Amino acid sequence: MSDKKIRIKREFVVLGVDTPVLEAAKICKYANVKYIIVSEDGKLVGVVTPIDFVYKIVAEGKDPKTITLGSIMSSPVAVCKSTDDVTTIAKIMYENGFSVLPVVSEEGTIEGVVSIVDVLYALGEAHLSEEMKELAKKLVSSTLHGVKLVKD
């Protein structure tokens, strides 16, 4: 087991369940973020990723002006703590079938998100040359995250 800590992304937005998908997409584009944490009455209730937009709106021919985040979010949401190590986070992702998790503090405050790419990088970092680490960092920063994992 590894006690290695993982990089927490601070790039995300928190929007309400009633936010129209089109408005949310525009907010994400303006803020240059890929993840939406969905809240209701100040509580974390779901996560929306770019793949949700594609699969649940575009592929189904729905109108993004009339569909809300609450109707496409992944919920209930699995979370990890900012104090969790990489193996704990990987286990939470695997057991819940998600490739992105909100990160919460011990007090329950949302601190960021982690993705499966971040987990893979952290797990493999000790075995990478300096050149490969640089390449992996570029991959981590440019990869489209949010694909829901499918377990056999």
Mean predicted confidence (pLDDT) in 113-127:
80
Smallest Cα–Cα separation from 145: which of 53, 22, 81, 23? Answer: 53
Which pTM was predicted? 0.74
Q: What is the pLDDT of residues 48-107, one digit of tens each?
A: 988 888 889 888 988 888 999 999 998 898 999 988 988 899 999 999 988 889 999 888
Q: For the domain with range 13-142, which CATH number is right: 3.40.50.10800, 3.90.1150.10, 3.10.20.80, 3.10.580.10? A: 3.10.580.10
- Enumerate the H helices of the chain as residue ranges: 21-31, 50-53, 69-72, 86-96, 116-124, 130-142
Q: What ranges do the domains of the chain cover?
A: 13-142
For residues 110 and 39, the answer to whether their CB atoms sit within 8 Å is: no
pLDDT value at 128 more than 90 = no
- Compute CA distances 103 → 41, 46, 114, 145, whole Å: 19, 13, 7, 15
Phi-psi group of 97: left, alpha or beta (phi > 0 → left; psi -120 to 50 → alpha; rest → beta): left
- Compute CA distances 57 → 32, 33, 74, 98, 134, whole Å: 20, 19, 14, 19, 36
Residue 7 CA to residue 118 CA, distance in Å, equals: 7
The per-residue pLDDT for 150 is 37
